[in-house]
């Protein structure tokens, strides 16, 4: 298991190592988190069929992995982010070839009829010096009452945590969907156990 900033470190370990390597997080992707996210969606929605997945915020490592996860499970995937902060171009091209995918700056269009609404912090690990600038850029990219009104009435909200209330998500929305978000956090444990069982079994 490795958590690191550099994706190349994980790839090098996988290439030269003699045992399975688990990507716990890099600057490029966060697959272990997305396994827990998908597990939580399955628990609440019972099936991925016909679901629309919406991500609002920075097109970062979480967005990259969520796109792969959503499209792989057959969900429609919509991303709303500033044009200079889009997810990886290769991942977006793959998503368009393999499913229904959109990426734009239109937050409400992204959230329209969504079954799952997801966000992440505006400034990730290692971006602390950019925090003030990012707050200006992402100030409208927030899950709030207006966004949830655009989503389906039974939509769920997920966040990989820790959340910065009144930034990427309002305190009101966070509290309204706290059960789902904390179930998601618990499922990190169970998803990682499943990875270990798969690799060691």
- Summarised one tens digit per residue, pLDDT across range 44-96 is 999 999 999 999 999 999 999 999 999 999 999 999 999 999 999 999 999 99
From the list 81, 110, 115, 188, the catalytic residue is 188
Query: With the CA atoms of 196, 30, 53 and 97 taken in that order, what torsion angle do they form, in degrees rounded to the nearest 10?
Result: -100
Calculate the alpha carbon distances from 15 to 18, 20, 58 in Å.
8, 10, 30
CA 60/CA 86 separation, integer angstroms: 8
Q: Residue 126: is its pLDDT beyond 90?
A: no
Number of structural domains in the chain: 1
pLDDT band at 125 (very low <50, low <70, confident <90, very high): confident
Mean model confidence pLDDT for the chain: 98
Domain that holds residue 179: 46-187
pLDDT of res. 201:
84
From the list 3, 42, 165, 190, the catalytic residue is 3
Q: Residue 117: is its pLDDT beyond 80?
A: yes
120 is catalytic: yes
Residue 28 lies in a domain: no
Query: With the CA atoms of 187, 18, 25 and 186 taken in that order, what torsion angle do they form, in degrees rounded to the nearest 10?
Result: 10
**What CATH code is carried by the domain that includes residue 72?**
3.40.50.1370
From the list 29, 77, 120, 142, the catalytic residue is 120
3 is catalytic: yes
Residue 13 lies in a domain: no
88 is catalytic: no
Residue 17 lies in a domain: no
Residue 69 lies in a domain: yes
From the list 29, 32, 33, 103, the catalytic residue is 33
What are the pLDDT digits (tens) for 5-31?
999 999 999 999 999 999 999 999 999
27 is catalytic: no
Sign of the four-CA dihedral 31, 7, 26, 196: positive
Query: What is the three-class DSSP state of 201?
Result: coil
């Amino acid at each position: 298991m490795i958590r690191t900033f550099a994706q190349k470190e994980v790839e090098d370990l996988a290439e030269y190592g003699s045992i399975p390597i688990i990507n716990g997080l890099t600057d490029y992707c966060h697959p272990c988190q997305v396994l827990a996210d998908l597990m939580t969606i399955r628990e609440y929605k019972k099936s991925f069929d016909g679901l629309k997945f919406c991500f609002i915020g920075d097109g970062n490592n979480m967005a990259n992995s969520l796109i792969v996860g959503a499209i792989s499970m057959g969900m429609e995937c919509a991303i709303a982010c500033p044009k200079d902060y889009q997810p990886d171009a290769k991942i977006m091209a793959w998503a368009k070839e393999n499913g229904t995918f959109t990426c734009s700056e239109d937050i409400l269009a992204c959230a329209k009829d969504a079954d799952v609404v997801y966000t992440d912090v505006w400034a990730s690990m290692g971006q602390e010096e950019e925090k003030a600038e990012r707050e200006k850029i992402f100030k409208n990219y927030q899950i709030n009452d207006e966004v949830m009104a655009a989503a389906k009435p039974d939509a769920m909200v997920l966040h990989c945590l820790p959340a910065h209330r009144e930034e990427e998500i309002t305190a009101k929305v966070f509290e309204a969907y706290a059960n789902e978000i904390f179930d998601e956090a618990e499922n990190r444990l169970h998803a990682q156990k499943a990875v270990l069982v798969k690799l060691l079994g």
